[in-house]
Amino acid sequence: MNNPKVSVVVPIYNQERYLRDCLDSLEAQTLEEIEFILINDGSKDSSIDIMNEYAAKNPKFIIVDKGNDGVGKTINIGIDMAKGEYIAELDSDDFAAADMYEKLYEVAKKNDVDIVKSSVNNFIGEGENLNVYFKEEIARKGYYNRVINPLEEKEVFTFKMYAWCSLYRRELLQDNKIIWNEDVSAYNDNGFYWQTMSLAKSVYYVEDYFNYHRRDNEHSTVRDSNKMFNNFFAEHAFIVEKLIKSGTFEGLKKYFFSWKLDNYYFALTRIEFERKQDFFQLVAKDFRKDIEEYGLNAVHFVNQSQKIKINAIVKDPIQYFYTDYLKQYYKVSVVVPVHNSANYIRQTIESLLTQTLYGLEIILVENGSTDNTLEILKEYEGRDWRIQLHSIGASDAGTARNYGLERAHGQYIIFLDADDIFYPTMIAKAYNAGVKDDAEVIWFKTAYKDLLSGQTNPYNNFFNVAQMPNHRPFSFKQLKWNPYKAFNGWAWDKMFKTDYVRANNLTFQSLPVANDGYFTYLAMANAQRITTVNEILQLHIIGHGNNISFSKHDENYRNDYDMILEIVKELRKFDDENTSAHLFLKSMLPHMEWMMQRGYKTQEALQKYFNLLVSGGLEELGFIEILNEENSASDQEVIDRFEQVLDYHVDDFDKFMLEIGNQWIGKERNRLNYIPNAQVQQRNGKIIFGQNASEAQNTAGGLFAMIIPKKDTENVTAVVEILFLADNAPAVKDTLNLSFAINADKEGELQSNLFQAEWANGEKVMTDNIYYTYIDNVFTVYVKYTGKYTGFEYIFSNATSRSFPNKFSVLGINTGYITTIFPEVLPEMKRIEAIHQNYHAPALYGQRTVFRYEGTKEQSEELLCVELPNYAFNNVVFALEIANIPNNRPAIYDTLYFGFFLDSEKEIQANVFQAEWEKGRPALMDNVYYRVEGNKVYIGARFTEIWAAYHFKLKSIVGRELNQDYSVNYLAQELVEKELSVLPKDAQFIKEVQG
């Protein structure tokens, strides 16, 4: 192309992963007169092959293949080659909106400007997972959509300096010999920016977000701290040289020095902590030169505090690092161990990133996840410089917390779980209270949200105000009565002074379960300065099935005991009378009782714990020593029960359970997890989604829950009207029929049985977006996010049970306009897809085929064949009733309407003119097919599962001819007990539904 309007220069080095997205976006550009100069800078991957592939089919792509010289020389080659009126640069891991260069060129020509700049879409992910998480404006309000002379409105030198969202007049670059610095390997866009902006006579900013800038490329230069050390200082010197040469330096000094300081602080966010002091010394050396040679101190800064900061760094960079930088940027270290948390980690991290306290260090320690947790964490690491990601391989949460503790640099440290939600002011309020009282421990209130019942309640028992003295701060010993009963041994409702933790050598036990108790109890017991925040700051999420304390006790039955034992050993060092150890043990006995009653889910684990206690475990804890002490009535009651345990020996478990265990433990083991309150009947409510789609996709929140007594034969039958509230679109209504119960099995164990969860009509918006769980005695209905300003409303038209009066409760879980992010759809949630069927019994007395031989989805059985005599235009239509009968699950029934005629245009061939379902049941649409063979049509069905079946019968059939000259042959074996046939290649699955 001889006279392109725009030349786009794309430097490419080892970008095979993202390059196609970039080149596809160029190929789609709506500007016709455009050329794309692709320059391979010595890539070692398949980048050059991809480049050649695009060039072979589109002459707009011009290829340069050379050795590795660096990005500066690479782009300079492209600029020299460019023929366009305007030149653009595009990074090869980014992409452009299809109309980007057409629109920017139109603006440039219309306003006759040297430079046009547009705003930016910052994104992470690929394909369907691409997420534009931050739309970044290129300028401030008031500077858009007008021509600006940069040297007359110098505030523009405080705006973003991105090159890849801009167009540059070719004459501006060539006449002024503007180049990219070839002596550095990165950050040479800095010098290009200062040259172009200082020499341009006219710049135009547009608000449109045309460029898509990737923020999660692991090989990006901003992730390479060595390049910052090696390039930043040289690039800044290059800029000064160019500005002095062009005569613009004096007029731009205050903007340049201020920008350079910000640039160094940006670099500090990417440089490893251990190298920051060295970097500060280099910064001090650089600014000392600015003071001595370029008169920095004579310059009037826009923000004078920046000059003060520069002089403090120059005077003593190491002192500044400790006294100013750390206190500003490392106030609190947040340590989060993360394992298989893909369903919850996004909301957890988002609630950390929105904390109001400036100066967080977020240390995410991933330890051997087998889901896509690590991939999600890498996304966030690329988004926010405060996040440090460490993947340490398979380990327990205690080891992960210790790993984070070793790498923490904050004045305070807090250890949080990967599935909880933190209120925006949580860390700020805890930190401010700690600083105010110079506290070693800051202890705050929390609440829990149960995803099963939807209830949120405070943890009042673990923030016992009655035991606290009136003054703050206070020492641990100033807690009244037994101080160990005032709190719980988890770490996540407390913040700790980091120096205090290290001075006392506090660490977490390397245990799969109960690993934070040792750290927390000893941190509290040693504390001389404890302060509190009497406000709920955190929401602990339970009921999603992955909480450690509810899922791993059985396989790690002695972890809890080992935690208590090690704490007792440490507390025995506190005093000769073992008072501290005895108080702690008394506080733990109710917990040990709870472990026996409800901590273990299997009898086998409970027996192991029993054997541990009776084989010397209680004695090792010091239980014998507290028997004769003066105890409170509540303590004595528990002590008496454990004293009875001492009468038994290993292998006496059955005897123990028979004599006292079933009364003491068994009774509690069958205690209701959720007790219904029949007075609570919240039988109507609604959710309106207020979340943005970018952060709420594939999330679901509870709509309502029903709790029934956990007793044999208790049941509920309910009819619930549900209305989908669309955003400026017609509403959709359906009726949900529910029936579930609690029944005892042969051994007397209570089981949760669901008999019905079916829609009356099966509206698609309902079957796609409404889920349920039925766990223990709680049936919960959830709604999936369907878009901002949409929602669901429910109202019970009827709900009853066999008990009189009714004993169940109905709880509205989320109500009103919801802006908080729900958890992602959990594996435990099951979509309500079934549709109530009014079966026509006679229709099922036809043929059947039962799969009694294992198969795959790629195998099938043909049910029947309809054949027409071989002459033109003969036809037939029929209605075939089919029921898909899964193994021990409700049947799915529908009617297939089918018609075909014989086409004689070339040769006699069946031509299908109708193949559609009456209802459109997915289980049939996905598995029933037809195929054509000459004058015959075959109807078949593929294998679904062993013991599943298809029942089918011709409800009616009619042909054109008077004598009904068609034939129907039933092909399916009634019992398929041998290898199935391979699914025919010409099988056409029937997806249409009658309008």
Q: Residue 415 has what pLDDT?
A: 97
759 with 734: CB under 8 angstroms?
yes
Same structural domain, 507 and 583: no
Closest CA to 725 of 775, 773, 828, 794: 794
Answer yes or no: is pLDDT of 844 > 60: no
Across 271-285, 590-604, 623-637, 682-696, the highest mean pLDDT is recorded for: 271-285
Single-letter amino acid code for the residue at 139: A
Q: Which two tokens stand for residue 516?
A: 């934070």
Average pLDDT over residues 841-850: 61
Closest CA to 914 of 951, 848, 958: 958
Q: Residue 672 has what pLDDT?
A: 40
Same structural domain, 273 and 349: no
Distance between CA 682 and CA 796 in Å, rounded?
9
Answer yes or no: is pLDDT of 265 > 90: yes
Same structural domain, 60 and 204: yes
Cβ neighbors of 497 (< 8 A, separation 6 or more) are: 411, 412, 413, 434, 439, 440, 441
Average pLDDT over residues 245-271: 94
Pairing mode of beta strands 859-867, 875-885: unpaired
349 burial level (CB within 10 Å; 0-12, 13-18, 19+)? buried
The single residue listed with the structure tokens 């690039």 is 235
853 within a domain of the structure (yes/no): no
Average pLDDT over residues 302-327: 94
995 within a domain of the structure (yes/no): no
pLDDT in tens, 639-670: 999 999 999 999 898 888 888 887 787 655 54
Q: Residue 986 has what pLDDT?
A: 93
Question: Which residue(s) pair with 443 in the sheet?
Answer: 494, 532
Which of 669, 697, 722 is the last residue before a domain boundary?
A: 669
Where would I find the H helices in 726-810? 764-769
380 within a domain of the structure (yes/no): yes
87 with 180: CB under 8 angstroms?
no
Question: Which residue(s) pair with 339 in the sheet?
Answer: none
Task: Tell me the pLDDT of the chain averaged across its residues.
Answer: 90
Same structural domain, 376 and 513: yes
User: What are the φ/ψ torsions at residue 63 (nearest 5 degrees)?
Assistant: -105, 135
Answer yes or no: is pLDDT of 301 > 80: yes
800 within a domain of the structure (yes/no): yes
- The beta strand positions in 748-891, using DSSP E, are 750-759, 770-775, 778-784, 791-800, 809-812, 816-818, 830-831, 847-851, 859-867, 875-885
pLDDT in tens, 874-883: 889 999 999 8
Number of H helices, E strands in the chain: 29, 43
Least confident of 271-275, 430-434, 484-488: 271-275
Same structural domain, 79 and 209: yes
609 with 561: CB under 8 angstroms?
yes
Distance between CA 159 and CA 258 in Å, rounded?
12
Largest CA distance in the chain: 110
**Displacement of CA 966 from its chain's centroid (Å):** 58
Distance between CA 119 and CA 309 in Å, rounded?
31
**pLDDT interval class at 696 (50, 70, 90):** confident
Distance between CA 117 and CA 147 in Å, rounded?
11
Q: Residue 549 has what pLDDT?
A: 45
Q: What 3-state DSSP class applies to 767? A: helix
Distance between CA 644 and CA 738 in Å, rounded?
47
pLDDT in tens, 442-491: 999 999 887 655 667 888 889 999 999 999 999 999 999 999 999 999 99
614 with 652: CB under 8 angstroms?
yes
381 with 389: CB under 8 angstroms?
yes
**How far is residue 520 from each of residues 447, 544, 795, 828, measured CA to CA in Å?**
18, 25, 46, 32
CA angle 33, 36, 37 (to 5 degrees): 135
Higher pLDDT, 928 or 848: 928
Average pLDDT over residues 976-984: 90
Answer yes or no: is pLDDT of 198 > 60: yes
Domain count of the fold of the chain? 6
785 with 655: CB under 8 angstroms?
no
Same structural domain, 867 and 812: no
Cβ neighbors of 387 (< 8 A, separation 6 or more) are: 349, 362, 364, 380, 381
Same structural domain, 173 and 211: yes
455 within a domain of the structure (yes/no): yes
Which of 639, 669, 699 is the last residue before a domain boundary?
A: 669
Average pLDDT over residues 208-235: 84
End-to-end Cα spacing for the chain: 52
Check: pTM over 0.75? Answer yes or no: no
CB environment 312-346: b (16+ within 10 A), e (fewer)? bbbeebeebbeeebbeebbbbbbbbbbbbbbbbbb
Same structural domain, 46 and 97: yes
Distance between CA 857 and CA 839 in Å, rounded?
27
Same structural domain, 831 and 877: no
pLDDT in tens, 8-31: 999 999 999 999 999 999 999 999
- N residues, the chain: 995
CB environment 547-565: b (16+ within 10 A), e (fewer)? ebeeebbbebbbbbbbbbb
pLDDT in tens, 128-155: 778 888 899 999 999 999 999 999 999 9
Looking at residue 394, the DSSP 8-state letter turns out to be S
243 within a domain of the structure (yes/no): no
Single-letter amino acid code for the residue at 409: H
Same structural domain, 185 and 276: no
**pLDDT interval class at 896 (50, 70, 90):** very high
Q: Which run of H or E residues covers position 168?
A: strand 166-169
pLDDT in tens, 370-401: 988 999 999 898 888 899 999 999 999 999 99
User: Which range marks the domain in which residue 264 is found?
Assistant: 248-326
Same structural domain, 591 and 717: no
Percentage of residues in the chain having pLDDT higher than 70: 96
919 with 762: CB under 8 angstroms?
yes
Pairing mode of beta strands 166-169, 115-124: antiparallel
Q: Residue 256 has what pLDDT?
A: 97
Cβ neighbors of 35 (< 8 A, separation 6 or more) are: 1, 4, 6, 7, 8, 60, 62, 82, 83, 84
CB environment 916-939: b (16+ within 10 A), e (fewer)? bbebbbebbbebbbbbeeebbbbb
Which of 511, 545, 579 is the last residue before a domain boundary?
A: 545
Q: Which two tokens stand for residue 811?
A: 């709880």
Q: Which run of H or E residues covers position 645?
A: helix 633-645
Same structural domain, 787 and 894: no
Q: Residue 840 has what pLDDT?
A: 34
Q: Residue 893 has what pLDDT?
A: 87
Q: How many CB atoms lie within 10 A of CB 945?
A: 12
Q: Which two tokens stand for residue 943?
A: 């294998």
The single residue listed with the structure tokens 């075939």 is 880
**pLDDT interval class at 964 (50, 70, 90):** low
Q: Residue 671 has what pLDDT?
A: 44
Looking at residue 822, the DSSP 8-state letter turns out to be P
Pairing mode of beta strands 928-933, 988-989: antiparallel
936 within a domain of the structure (yes/no): yes
Distance between CA 306 and CA 283 in Å, rounded?
14
744 within a domain of the structure (yes/no): yes
Query: What's the half-sphere exposure (Cβ side, CA atoms, 13 Å) at 197?
Result: 29
Give the CATH number for residue 538.
3.90.550.10
Distance between CA 991 and CA 81 in Å, rounded?
54
Answer yes or no: is pLDDT of 919 > 70: yes
